[in-house]
Amino acid sequence: MTHFARTPFVVAATLMVTPHIAQAEIKAADVWNNMEAYVGAFGGTVTGDQSQTGSGTTFSNMKVTFTLPFGMGSVALAPPDITMREAGDGTVEMEYPSESVYTISADIADAGAFSADIILGFTGMKAVASGEPGDISYEYAAETTTVALGDWSAPDLEELQGFEAIVDGTITGLQGSARITEGDLVQMTSSLSTGKQDIKVTWTGPDGAKGESNTTASGMTSEGTFVMPADGADIMNLAAAIQSGMRLDAKSTMSGYKAEQVQTIPGEGVVEQTNGYENQTTTLSLDESGLKVAGDANAFFARFTLEGMLPVPIQMDGDSATMSLAMPLSGGDAPRPYQLAMALTGMKLSDDVWALFDPSGALPRDPAVVEIDVSGMLRNVVDLLDINTLMATVQGGTIPVEAQSADINAFKLSMAGAEVTASGGVTLDNSDMISYFGMPKPVGEIGVVIKGANGLMDTLVSMGLVSDQDAAGARMGLAMVAKPDPDAGEDVLTSTFTFEEDGSLLANGVKLK
């Protein structure tokens, strides 16, 4: 029996990506070294035993430990034993127990120790490695995978004493592949797909509170590429790793997602929540150019019921929701582009909710729309992923991010028969933080169009939701900054806000500041 201690991760965490067909023969040791090369950059330490058995090489008693920054403690993962069998055709078969226990433990400063067993069960599990030393591909599949929570303990956390939880999950059609290529940069490209997922969690608290959640999905996919420097990365300074070639590209999809939660609180009642969507896509990239995140979901819905406190369930449905963010992360003198956009379309409240404040149907119930798209240039004073330098900069009173400009590519808010749109742009003077009360001084123009505002106020007054006096004040305020535009239609107000070099602000030529 041989004892080993190196810097890798777990076998299970590395099984995902594009297949690679190679002609060379590999051994169990090549597979283990390949997986170690991929995860060694994360700074963990693994200990355990390996031995030769009749069926191959068995790795047992493994434990992967990571030390947290700032003396916060450590986190560890103990995976199950794994046997690697050389199949004789140049491939290595990887055998897992039909019931595999992964023990997660932590020892956190000022919080104490924690441990929990995650039990994975496999039916029809197959995992095969092929390729050549230093460039190995993995293919795996399981007909059914079950997930359960085993024994757990948190002796130092008083709030968890007497807390009980049960996790029961099933995932069908698990299938994936992975390719790990070694070198100065270690690269893994992965893909994963599943069929139906069904996860149920029930819990009971020491005060008698209890809850249950059921999460289902009809399918999920993910794919991505992760590149890390072979000599590792400092989590407190990922900026240096990115400069050395670290990058991440990932995409995931989920379909038929639904989450239902019921919580009973003694003396207060029962809270029920349901939310979900038909399809959802998320993309993420991180490299020298910066961070890019985007997501979208369609046919989304949410429902909230509070027994004894709300007379009807609060229910909302929507056609689509999108979000995207792109921004630089590296520091320097040169400004770089950024963009932030989001949109919610087709949002509708249920008739029961409308009836609470508008039983006669006086207000238009057209679906609401929220759309925002802003882009421009910004400069980072320091690398945002150099955490120590970033914290020192903030503590020294310097704002680490300076926006240089902001262009409104789209802005729209439409609901209850009224609509506000805006467009335009400004440059931002970060040397003047006085003219606009601690904000950079803007210079430029923004145009605003308001439709249906007077009609909405008339309706709110007739319903008794707004007093005549409050409506008159609102109309007076609008008159100060906007003017009617008959050419654009009935009940349309427009305004052009001009931000001058001297710090003054004008609305349709009238000085406000």
Q: Check pLDDT > 80 for residue 9.
A: no
pLDDT, tens only, 330-377: 998 899 999 999 999 999 999 999 998 899 999 999 999 999 999 999
**Would you call 29 helix, strand, or coil by DSSP?**
helix
Residues 6+ apart with CB under 8 A from 93: 56, 84, 85, 86, 87, 126, 127, 128, 129
Q: What is the mean pLDDT of the chain?
A: 89
Q: Check pLDDT > 60 for residue 307.
A: yes
DSSP readout, 356-421?
HH-TT--S--PPEEEEEEEEEEEEESS-TTBHHHHHHHHHTT--SEEE-EEEEEEEEEEETTEEEE
**Can you give the C-alpha Rg of the chain in angstroms?**
29
Question: Does 281 or 82 have the greater pLDDT score?
Answer: 281
Contact 496, 503 (CB under 8 A): no
Average pLDDT score over residue span 440-455: 96
Mean pLDDT lowest among 202-216, 247-261, 277-291:
202-216
Q: Check pLDDT > 60 for residue 211.
A: yes
What integer pLDDT is reported at residue 41 of this predicted model? 67
pLDDT, tens only, 11-69: 333 433 333 344 468 998 898 888 878 877 677 777 788 888 777 899 889 888 888 87
Residue carrying the six token digits 């500041």: 513
How are beta strands 492-499 and 505-507 bridged, if at all? antiparallel
Average pLDDT score over residue span 97-124: 91
What integer pLDDT is reported at residue 48 of this predicted model? 80
**Would you call 204 helix, strand, or coil by DSSP?**
strand
What integer pLDDT is reported at residue 322 of this predicted model? 98
CA-nearest of 480, 403, 398 to 443 is 403
Residue carrying the six token digits 């008959």: 486
Residue carrying the six token digits 């079950």: 146
Question: Does 470 or 10 have the greater pLDDT score?
Answer: 470
DSSP state of 440: P
What integer pLDDT is reported at residue 268 of this predicted model? 79
Q: Check pLDDT > 50 for residue 204.
A: yes
DSSP readout, 44-104?
-EEEEEEEEETTEEEEEEEEEEEEEGGGTEEEEEEPPPEEEEE-SSS-EEEE--SEEEEEE
